[in-house]
Amino acid sequence: MQEDIDIWPQINKLLAPLGTHTVKYDRNISTEEFINNGLVEVTIGVALIRTYQVSTNVHFQRKQYGLKHHMTGTIHYAMRDTPAKSCC
């Protein structure tokens, strides 16, 4: 188990160009076809390992891939996030 954690491989992902709203996934389309349609293949490695101290004798390390999550919101979601206007 520890060996698996120690040797995290780099991973390759396809990155859509800025401004892309949708990418239709089809398992029959090859990586090369996605690249020909404007996607870019990027290699993602492990982010810096952080060590935390829980108590005097207990430490742990956090190891993760350097991915930034993206969330898309609809107009309904955005409306929920704004303060309600007073009616009177």
Amino acid at 52: Y
Tell me if 13 sits within 8 A of 40, measured CB to CB. Answer: no
Confidence check: pLDDT of 1 > 80: no
Between residues 27 and 77, the one the model is more confident about: 27
pLDDT digits (tens, 9 = 90+) for 4-52: 667 778 888 888 888 887 888 888 999 999 999 999 998 888 877 788 8
Tell me if 51 sits within 8 A of 59, measured CB to CB. Answer: yes
What's this model's pTM, rounded to 2 decimal places? 0.52
